[in-house]
Amino acid sequence: MLDENAKKHHVAIHGYVLMSNHFHLLATPETVEGIPQMMQAVGRRYVRNFNLRQQRSGTLWEGRYKSTLIRPNATCWPAWSTWT
């Protein structure tokens, strides 16, 4: 689901971490709209599938996703760049 929507919205996924109640992505969009559109598409599809499986309705997420710009530097980028 993530890979499909990343390709559709031209977002490179460099890495991800699944936590117990959320996830983290390291991603680079080709356009300003790339990540918001990808996250909206993934969220809608995941919630729809989850609700069908669990026989429930309504929202799953507490709020909108959050994003932070990470500039490549000697501290964090080398570790992430080995995943691409």
- Average pLDDT, integer, range 45-72: 87
More confident residue, 73 or 7: 7
Under the banding of pLDDT at 50, 70 and 90, the label for residue 84 is very low
**Which residues span the domain enclosing 54?**
2-60
Q: Which residue has the higher pLDDT, 51 or 59?
A: 51
Instruction: Say if 79 falls within a structural domain.
Output: no
Residue 83, pLDDT > 70, answer no
Helix H or strand E encompassing 5: helix 2-8
Contacts of 76 (CB under 8 A, 6+ apart): 70
Q: Residue 65: which pLDDT band, with cuts at 50, 70 and 90?
A: confident
Tokens found for residue 64: 């909108």
SS3 content of the chain, % helix, strand, coil (to 5): 40, 20, 45
Does residue 17 lie in a domain region? yes
Across the range 70-76, mean pLDDT stands at 67
4-58 tens-digit pLDDT: 999 999 999 988 888 887 888 989 999 999 999 999 999 899 899 999 999 999 8
If one counts every other C-beta atom within 10 angstroms of the C-beta of residue 6, the result is 20
Say how many domains are in the chain: 1
Q: Is residue 53 part of a domain?
A: yes
Question: Whose structure tokens read 């996830």?
Answer: 23
SS3 at position 11 = strand
Give the C-alpha separation, 34 to 51, whole Å.
Answer: 26
